[in-house]
Amino acid sequence: MPFDTQLTRKLGIRVPVIQGGMQWVGYVELASAVSNAGGLGILTSLTQPTPEDLRKEIRRCREMTKNPFGVNLTALPTINPPPYEEYAKVIIEEGVKIVETAGLVEPYVAMFKKAGCIVLHKCTSIRHALSAERRMGVDFLSIDGFECAGHVGETDIPNMVLLSRARQQLRTPFIGSGGFADGRGLLAALALGASGINMGTRFMCTQEAPVHMNIKQAIVNATENDTQLVLRRWKNTSRYFRNKVSEAAYEIEKTSPTGEFKEVQQYVSGQRGRQVFINGDPDHGVWTAGICIGMIQDVPTCEDLLRRIEAEAQGALSANVSQYKESAKM
């Protein structure tokens, strides 16, 4: 195992790479493929219409992989609040051992910890990470830099600084999330003190991701300038793929005299965004993407992607070490 870290040892995985929760993407096809390839695949609870559907999805995942996998539970502002506690109960009843959480989840984390689950909690700031460490005693913090897709937080600190601050401040092991898409990124995160990385957008653009091919092609064609930040006015800043709908939502956000969320609701609706992945029209609704879209140039299988990431990280490590030795001789 080339990269043996606290993360790989604790989770029982080969490669220190996690496929983070993604609304309308984190289904069993993707999660099981990532786990079979040696990373940690994660099912996203709220993509399932009911807690009982999540139960079926977890059981299906067990049939599709013998390797460890996790389940994500995220509680952020939502148009129709789901029954979070019921989802949490199903996760526990089904004996899931690894849970990824984000948002206001303290009561559910307490349930998961009591049930003996390993909890990885996502934070976009050191202040929130310290509070999660103190109040919830999670096993890993997933440090979500400003580069990430979706909910970027309100402090706008990218991972070059955020991961270093995590290393300086946290006692809990952490992983880097946001902006990672290749082996050099993995190596950089390890060098900054992380035990591994979390990738979302990169896994969206794999053969197994249940996302229309047009959308994968839109990611391949995009540059790092093709995302847009919306919802800052409501302190729920979200990074979307820049399209006609994100532009329209942003225009209302900027100009609305009332500042009422309901004015943008029809544009940012997740149900509308979900259709994008099904019908393949990138302008049908908003959909989240990280700025690493600029680095993504193909649609590999999860197996090929993880093998490439391992090989690239190893190759870059050896090259850097020999370059360093050469320059030390001079």
Residues that bind ligand NAD (CB under 6 A): 21-23, 44, 46, 72, 74, 76-79, 150, 231, 234, 236, 238, 261, 268-271, 273
Q: Are 150 and 238 in contact (CB under 8 A)?
A: yes
Q: Which residue is nearest to ligand NAD (CB)?
A: 270
Q: How far is Cα 145 from Cα 71, in angstroms, rounded to an integer? A: 21
DSSP letter, residue 104 = S
Element (H, E) at 177: strand 174-177
Which of residues 184 and 274 has its CB atom nearest to ligand NAD in the complex?
274
For the bound state, the minimum distance from the C-beta of residue 327 to ligand NAD, rounded and expressed in Å, comes to: 42
32 or 201: CB nearest ligand NAD = 201
Per-residue CA distances from 210 to 102, 220, 280, 287 (Å): 22, 16, 11, 14
Minimum distance of ligand NAD from residue 307's CB (angstroms): 25
Q: Give the Å distances, CA to CA, from 30 to 34, 39, 124, 247, 251.
A: 6, 11, 25, 30, 34
Rounded distance between C-alpha atoms, residue 187 and residue 189, angstroms: 5
Pairing of strands 227-230, 140-144: unpaired
**With respect to ligand NAD, which residue has the nearer C-beta, 149 or 218?**
149
When the beta carbons of 22 and 119 are compared against ligand NAD, the nearer one is 22
- Taking the least distance from each CB to ligand NAD, the nearer of 21 and 153 is 21
Three-state secondary-structure class, residue 100: strand
Q: What minimum distance in Å lies between the beta carbon of 328 and ligand NAD?
A: 44
- Taking the least distance from each CB to ligand NAD, the nearer of 283 and 298 is 283
Least Cβ distance, residue 86 to ligand NAD (angstroms):
15
Cβ 271 to ligand NAD, closest distance in Å? 6
Q: At its nearest, how many Å lie between ligand NAD and the CB of residue 314?
A: 29
Distance CA 175, CA 192 (A): 10
118-123 and 98-103 strand pairing: parallel
| Nearest approach, Cβ of residue 246 and ligand NAD (Å) | 12
At residue 241's C-alpha, the angle toward residues 237 and 246, to 5°, is 65
Our CB check for ligand NAD shows the closer of 103 and 193 to be 103
